[in-house]
Chain A
Amino acid sequence: MAHGHNSKEKVVYVGDSRIVKRNASNIPADYTAYPGKSEAFIPNFLLKEWMVGVVALVGFLVLTIAHPAPLGFQADPTNAAFIPMPDWYFLFMYQLLKYPYVSGDFVVLGTVGIPGLAFGALLLAPFLDTGKERRFYRRPIATSLMLLSLIACIYLTKVSWDHYQHQLEVTNTIPEHILREEQAREAHEAGLPRPNPSAEPAPIVAADDPAMDLMNTATCLACHATDLTGQGNAPGLRGIGDKLSHEEIAEIITNGTDNGMPAFADRLSAEEIDQIAGWLALQKTSAE
């Protein structure tokens, strides 16, 4: 349906397309037509905004370099001791659900009732508050409801966060991402490679040594796992020789530690301890 360029036609198209051939300018009036000290969005205003944005961006980059994004240890569904914690902007909901009358038998109120009411009201605000007045100090009901909800959210978030800190304290827990950072720093200071929790554990050196049986009968493996990769609180023992010497290991086995490693002084003879410690000291990642 080529229209050609018949000037008698009302609408003239470009070629056979639906694009109207333009003869008059259809460019809208520019901003100078508006009164007051308004200015063009592009490029004047946007350029200024961009300059502020760039400063903010640099600050943001400094923050990301100063505080690397946290990463804990790989998810372990069998870990029963982990204290669950949602991201900070969900804490007010999380805390709300801990109060009686909105949990247990009344949990409907906590999961659907209160949030539904709050977010429903927020969603439909323009249809609930239909007055013409826009200034907040002339809209006492809307303003005070919003301020109250704000205070409630801030309060709940704070309570939730304090409770989490308290729990960490009583259970003597260091958040995993901090623990990992510390381990990485210690390894770095000791001149060792960064502990990589996702790497394959070092192979067991001389696995058929009688010391392995001895460790089984002495219940070491019950805590440190039969493949010596560790579980729960007890660390893996593969590659332990990188970190501890024969004497240091013997010392730990004999006297235990404050953090859960029992003392074996009265359960194993000095020779047995020496034999196990000697074998463990051979467990080096670099060994063949």
Chain B
Amino acid sequence: MFKGIYNWIDERLDITPMWRDVADHEVPEHVNPAHHFSAFVYCFGGLTFFITVIQILSGMFLTMYYVPDIINAYASVDYLQHKVAFGAIVRGMHHWGASLVIVMMFLHTLRVFFTGSYKAPREMNWVVGMLIFFIMLGLGLTGYLLPWDNKAYFATKVTLSIAESVPYIGPYIATLINGGEVVGAQTLTRFFAIHVFFLPGALLALLAAHFFMIRKQGISGPL
């Protein structure tokens, strides 16, 4: 039955090469912790991806309750945390996951650095990786404001004053992300849009490039 459906689709869309390309690649011995325990350092990229998926999923559930305006934002987070079934778990996963993903990404970056895997021919993938790194920091920065408690508010004020102190372009950057003169309603909606649409969109595009390049080039050889 399923084979029939599969063949019918395959005949029309020729999908076999796509997934076979993903499925049929070997994991070499030197990166497989089952053969060399120290190869666990090669798992950090996969773990980063795993937690990124958790972040995206938990974030999607958070937006079901979160209201991005200064009157309701805090109350909606409070409601989610205390009243919604499993709300505390969903929010907890997104909150702690945000730190965990940074830790994993750090470790992954260090693995790539210390194994010299950024060298030719993988320069472009390293640069893409660093861009992912910046996007992740941006996600952390914008997400921090969203609960709209005092910690969120005053940390963002500090961030904006730091941005403002950059010469020449600083005031423009600050106004752009702030959406006005004070940290307020505009800032919250802007940070929300950046956190939920702009940065994840860029992240997914960069991740696609990252994985495409890994597939094309293969993992770097043993040292």
Contacts and interface: CB of A to CB of B under 8 A. Distances in A.
Interface in A28-52: 28-31, 34, 36-42, 45, 48-49, 52
A89 B137 contact: yes
Chain B interface category by residue count: 35 or more
B152 A75 contact: yes
A63 B155 contact: no
A74 B74 contact: yes
Contact of A123 (B130, B140, B155, B162): B130
A77 B183 contact: yes
A74 B32 contact: no
A198 B114 contact: no
A84 B157 contact: yes
A251 B99 CA distance: 47
A205 interface: no
B85 interface: no
A37 B35 contact: yes
Given A86-B144, A87-B144, A134-B119, A67 B96 contact: yes
Given A39-B26, A40-B23, A133 B78 contact: no
Contacts of B117: 134
A134 B30 CA distance: 15
Contact of A72 (B17, B32, B151): B151
Interface string B130-174: 100010010011001001111111110111001001110010000
A194 B82 contact: yes
A34 B134 CA distance: 37
Nearest to A39: B27
Given A38-B26, A65-B89, A79 B150 contact: yes
A176 to B, nearest CB: 6
A75 B158 contact: no
Given A41-B23, A79-B150, A197-B78, A61 B89 contact: yes
B28 interface: yes
A97 B184 CA distance: 25
Interface of B: 11-14, 16-17, 20-29, 32, 34-35, 43, 46-47, 50, 54, 70, 74-75, 77-79, 81-82, 88-89, 91-100, 102, 110, 113-120, 122-123, 126-127, 130, 134, 137, 140-141, 144, 147-155, 157-159, 162, 165-167, 170, 182-184, 220, 223
Interface of A: 14-15, 17, 19-20, 22, 26-31, 34, 36-42, 45, 48-49, 52-53, 56-57, 60-61, 63-65, 67-77, 79, 82-90, 94, 97, 107-108, 111-112, 119, 122-127, 129-136, 139, 142-143, 146, 150, 175-177, 194, 196-198
